[in-house]
Structure 1
């Protein structure tokens, strides 16, 4: 008569409901049991291990989860399949068209090639961390074959294959900001998978991408700003540049303004929408990105004057265009009434900088110039935050921290001059840290 102790480990009988464990021909151990699945059904799952204990521990964990009434994630869905489903059926209804297009591009270029074939419920923290490490170190030209596919063009004889195509890698890597954005897309998709009960946890949340530094910008000085406005005074879009520099409006917010948004009596302007490039070409109007960005701002007298002059110019253009005029009630349009192209406005801005003899800068730096000059004039941070339409004051404080630090230096130096009045210059007061 044999006892359980005499029975080989691979043939021992387990209690009812505990499942079975046996050793496979390849030497691995396999454990199987029925557990609770999505929809209230029960399904037989199989787990594997290099030892009997490893397989038993995995099975015990799955059974314990099932006994708590939680469905076990046993779908064969791959990461690629779920990402496609999420983008096409969920994210498309929650994101703006431009944001959805960027998410789709991120998935196609960075997520699907590396993580797409993996089973969704088997994706681990180590998988995500290893993928990010590879992404951080990889040359994008080599990864996507950008240079290998480039061929000499008769119209552009200087455009020839280089980088990995000729064995000289240019090491063009993703920036920390782009890495953070790619990680955010995966994190959003996996968080929805948790809500859908496809996975038990979002493994991307447990991977730190690292802190990124805000992009350094060089706003115009007060003298440069005056020089720019003087050069733009006779320009057709003079009112647009006045608004950008004096109110800090974003490019899309400026191009999305309608004449209904202007209240000349109360000298205010309502920001309700933004004009952006549409994913399928052309431009389109969208709501502001956040609730804070939808705001009403006070207008300086110079902006009101410029807008009144611009309106008169637009009325003349409407009469000249006649039937060719496309009435959309936009403040800033082409001579035929169509929306302005955002990229064309930026190029026009750079041309004005050249004519004014100023250094090259971005259109968005007009917004930074407005905020910087306001800070230097002693305007409170909360007022600047409301003017710029930031969702949180912490964003304003972080972006313009360098300006506040410069103002602190000026304040401390002013205090030092006051305390040194009548004292021995060789014995300056000792600086202390105030908390």
Structure 2
């Protein structure tokens, strides 16, 4: 039997089986669907045995009816799959609100820095647990913290889980090894006296009420910067911290970001950039990369200039639900209400002075033009306050720890503290109990009185 004409075989989309005298094999062609370019997706198989070939054809047809399409080409490498996972799947999750833009930025960063250089060359079906063990060991040797290694493991595990669900893989090798353990971070809270000194240092500064809110309510940075006047009742003191504000990063929309950079990204460069190529007058071994923008375009991975790409995607101000599974409604302390009222009056005067340049986003703590304050500038202001107050250096998140610790020290029940801080699990709130020194001293004094007192 000779091979049928190709047009006849594909006209009705039915499977075809024939024997080829030229090579002595039985051949089978099965139509699985339509490719991205609109052409028919025809799969080929061959065998010396007609029976084995027909069995293989039936397997293809069964996969087609069940919606399981076999691979049309070689298995992708991990680098190729991560590119699809981040650019298509995760980007869709961000657009639907199921993933935070900052989370995707973190995924991209750790994939670019660690996953692709250490594991990207392996094909998905040839990735072994030993490859992951070796990669994590290299990260430890380079001084990366256990929490960073754990984040990389989780990103990789989630990407491979999606590959398994889509039948790109038979197993997720990330689940076959013990996940890297991240050490619990110690709670470092400011004392009551230090907290008061911080509030004293904030008096008279712009958005001073921002730090009263941080220390009194214990809300996170994104939640504080995302507070809006329409969600605050200055009469009853009810504060609905339901959202957080984020600045989503832009992504290149052009096919070749480097070519795009040559045309569009050069003019906006006004500050030194570490990743620019050397200027012509540099020696071959020059190690100083802090040059102003040269005549040539940016070097590889100049991601900060994506905002100038004419076809850029994403980016801009985003209000997202707060971290956690529920909406957080708080009761404002009575002493904080006059502080917020005075802050609103000051902001109204600021709006009048700015005039038409004011961009109203209804925010409590915006920039001088009304737009959301950046996390970086907010962090810098916190660091300045600590120096002015003369207290130890600390993280911005330590303000949240301070609020939880002060509540425990005042004898507030741990379940109430959990509700105020918005913790999903009480075990998270229990971390504050071991730092409440006044309660511990009181308990030990009572024990001493019970055993040795009169």
TM over 0.5: yes
- 1:43 positional shift: 7.5
1:350 is aligned to 2:410 = no
Task: Quote the residue 2:432 is aligned against.
Answer: 400
Equivalent of 2:451, from 414, 419, 423? Answer: 419
1:68-95, Cα deviation, whole Å (9 max, x unpaired): x998987522111111111111112222
Task: Work out the CA distance in 1 between the residues paired with 2:230 and 2:242.
Answer: 11
1:353-383, Cα deviation, whole Å (9 max, x unpaired): 2222222222211111000111112212222
Task: Work out the CA distance in 2 between the residues paired with 1:289 and 1:258.
Answer: 13
Task: Work out the CA distance in 1 between the residues paired with 2:162 and 2:70.
Answer: 14
Aligned residue runs from structure 1 range 172-251, under 5 A: 173-251=143-221
Structure-2 change in CA distance of 1:324 and 1:370 (3 Å): same
Task: Work out the CA distance in 2 between the residues paired with 1:286 and 1:315.
Answer: 23
Aligned residue runs from structure 1 range 135-174, under 5 A: 135-137=139-141, 139=142, 173-174=143-144
Structure-2 change in CA distance of 1:342 and 1:222 (3 Å): same
- Aligned with 1:219: secondary structure? coil
1:120 is aligned to 2:152 = no
1:98 is aligned to 2:102 = yes
- 1:193 positional shift: 0.9
Task: Work out the CA distance in 2 between the residues paired with 1:205 and 1:401.
Answer: 34
Task: Quote the residue 2:296 is aligned against.
Answer: none
1:21-43, Cα deviation, whole Å (9 max, x unpaired): xxxxxxxxxxxxx9x9x99x988
- Aligned with 1:313: secondary structure? helix
Aligned residue runs from structure 1 range 375-390, under 5 A: 375-390=408-423
Structure-2 change in CA distance of 1:366 and 1:283 (3 Å): farther
Task: Work out the CA distance in 1 between the residues paired with 2:441 and 2:45.
Answer: 69
Structure-2 change in CA distance of 1:72 and 1:174 (3 Å): farther
Contact 1:272 1:295 in 2 (8 A): yes
- 1:130 positional shift: 2.0
Task: Work out the CA distance in 1 between the residues paired with 2:435 and 2:381.
Answer: 29
In structure 2, runs of 5+ residues without a counterpart are 1-27, 34-41, 47-55, 94-98, 251-306, 308-314
Aligned residue runs from structure 1 range 9-158, under 5 A: 76-94=75-93, 95-137=99-141, 139=142
Contact 1:273 1:286 in 2 (8 A): yes
- Aligned with 2:366: secondary structure? coil
Give the paired residue count: 334
Q: CA RMSD in A?
A: 3.1
Structure-2 change in CA distance of 1:42 and 1:128 (3 Å): farther
Moved more, 77-86 or 186-195: 77-86
Contact 1:256 1:285 in 2 (8 A): no
In structure 1, runs of 5+ residues without a counterpart are 1-33, 46-62, 140-172, 423-435
Task: Quote the residue 2:235 is aligned against.
Answer: 265
- 1:401 positional shift: 5.3
Task: Work out the CA distance in 2 between the residues paired with 1:217 and 1:259.
Answer: 31
- 1:412 positional shift: 3.9
Contact 1:259 1:331 in 2 (8 A): yes
Contact 1:283 1:341 in 2 (8 A): no
- 1:322 positional shift: 1.5
- 1:217 positional shift: 4.3
Structure-2 change in CA distance of 1:401 and 1:195 (3 Å): farther
- 1:186 positional shift: 0.2
Structure-2 change in CA distance of 1:340 and 1:89 (3 Å): same
- 1:261 positional shift: 0.7
- 1:236 positional shift: 2.3
Task: Work out the CA distance in 1 between the residues paired with 2:45 and 2:150.
Answer: 39
Moved more, 322-331 or 411-420: 411-420
- 1:44 positional shift: 6.5
